[in-house]
Amino acid sequence: MLTKEQIAQRIARELRDGMYVNLGIGIPTLVANYVPKGMTIILQSENGMLGMGPFPYEGEEDPDLINAGKQTVTILPGGSFFDSAMSFGMIRAGKVDLTVLGAMEVADNGDIANWKIPGKMVKGMGGAMDLVASAKNIIVAMQHTDKAGNSKLLPKCTLPITGLRCVKKIVTDLGVFDVTPHGFKLLERAPGVTVEEIRAKTAGRLVVEGDVVEMSF
């Protein structure tokens, strides 16, 4: 089983030089720690920044410089600030190459639910609906099952939808999956996890072809 850091580390292998990337809150944020040396990745923060850098040094926090998670951050050389309309403009126009976000549920047709649990407090969708409706390439980073052990990879989402048929790839603690017309295609297994265990914990259609590689770190 992968740790959260390993999920992020595995997703970082999808990065290519020059990509513009939007990372959601939680595990996706950790992906920034695993950008391969020598590779330039430009992080977009949807509140209005390109070239997001690391947290500021103690004492250098600037309340006017935060990311979409409201954390104090820095900007790297070559970055830029802009308003929220342009920020979502570049997202909708497909200029952001990769979006990584968390999810409560993903359906085997790529539907995603990650913004609301009816009956509980609703915090709002923030920019998630814009991102999933627009991004060319969406990778979901999440645990394979919820706390009760129920699969989060489903034949159909049960929670309110965030976006339809948009997820391209999922990295969970158990494996890596492409969303295909035939369902979740298992690409890689986490170290020590068997195809059978994955099959047992995947409620949606699972496609397994030939030998499935075991990830190594």
Partner 1 sequence: MNKVFKNAEEAIHDIKDGMVLMLGGFGLCGIPENCIAALVKKGVKNLTCISNNAGVDDFGIGLMLKQRQVKKMISSYVGENAEFERQLLSGELEVELIPQGTLATRCMMAGYGIPAFYTPAGVGTEVAEGKEVRNFNGKDYLMEYAFDADFALVKAWKGDTMGNLIFKDTARNFNPLMAMAGKITVAEVEELVPAGELDPNQIHTPGIYVHRIFQGINYEKRIEQRTVRKRD
The verdict on 37 binding partner 1 (CB under 8 A) reads no
What are the b/e assignments for 120-155, b being 16+ CB within 10 Å? Answer: eeeeebebbbbbbebbebbbbbbbbbeeeeebbbbe
The verdict on 24 binding partner 1 (CB under 8 A) reads no
Among 5, 33, 62, 146, binds partner 1 (CB under 8 A): 62
The verdict on 148 binding partner 1 (CB under 8 A) reads no
Output the smallest distance, CB 211 to partner 1, in A: 35
- Strands 183-189 and 175-180, bridge-based pairing: antiparallel
Among 75, 195, 207, 212, binds partner 1 (CB under 8 A): 75
Contacts to partner 1 from residues 154-173, by CB under 8 A: 160-164
Q: How many CB atoms lie within 10 A of CB 8?
A: 23
Options 5-13, 78-86, 184-192, 194-202: segment touching partner 1 (CB under 8 A): 78-86
Q: Tokens 């295609």 sit at which residue?
A: 185
The verdict on 58 binding partner 1 (CB under 8 A) reads yes
Cβ proximity to partner 1: between 1 and 129 the closer is 129
Contacts to partner 1 from residues 93-122, by CB under 8 A: 93-96, 111, 116, 121-122
Cβ pair 14, 35 in contact under 8 A: no
Cβ proximity to partner 1: between 116 and 205 the closer is 116
Q: How many CB atoms lie within 10 A of CB 57?
A: 8
Cβ pair 5, 14 in contact under 8 A: no
The verdict on 195 binding partner 1 (CB under 8 A) reads no
The rounded distance, in Å, linking the Cα atoms of 108 and 185 is: 9
Backbone angles phi, psi at 14, to 5 degrees: -85, -10
Among 26, 102, 130, 195, binds partner 1 (CB under 8 A): 130
Contacts to partner 1 from residues 38-57, by CB under 8 A: 40, 42, 44-51, 54-57
- Give the residue numbers annotated as catalytic, written as ranges: 46
